[in-house]
Amino acid sequence: MKLKGMIFGLAALFFITNNADAQTRTPKVSKRQVNQQKRIGHGIKSGELTRGEVYRLERQQRDVHRTKRAAKADGVVTGRERAVIHHKQNRASANIYHKKHNSTSR
């Protein structure tokens, strides 16, 4: 009987921790951050981005990261918080594109 109780307790604990973790997962956000960092890195290597542009783009990436961390802090990423993060990532992506395709270069 004790074994059944222990198994049930472990299963319940696993379900609870897994469910809580699912509410704070942001795989799309993380993947976009990685892709945007790669795009910035490519712009540096190709000379499409100046030092000042890289500084501003990196600062914007830090802001997205801080927003994501703050959203996860309470254990639940709400729909509104996800929308704010996605909006910031959309702006960052557009800025990367514009800075890579403007007429300035190193």
Q: What is the pTM of this model?
A: 0.74
CB 40 within 8 A of CB 57: yes
Q: Which residues contact 82 (CB under 8 A, 6 or more apart)?
A: 26, 29, 71
47 or 7: which leads in pLDDT: 47
pLDDT in tens, 45-95: 999 999 999 999 999 999 999 999 999 999 999 999 999 999 999 999 999
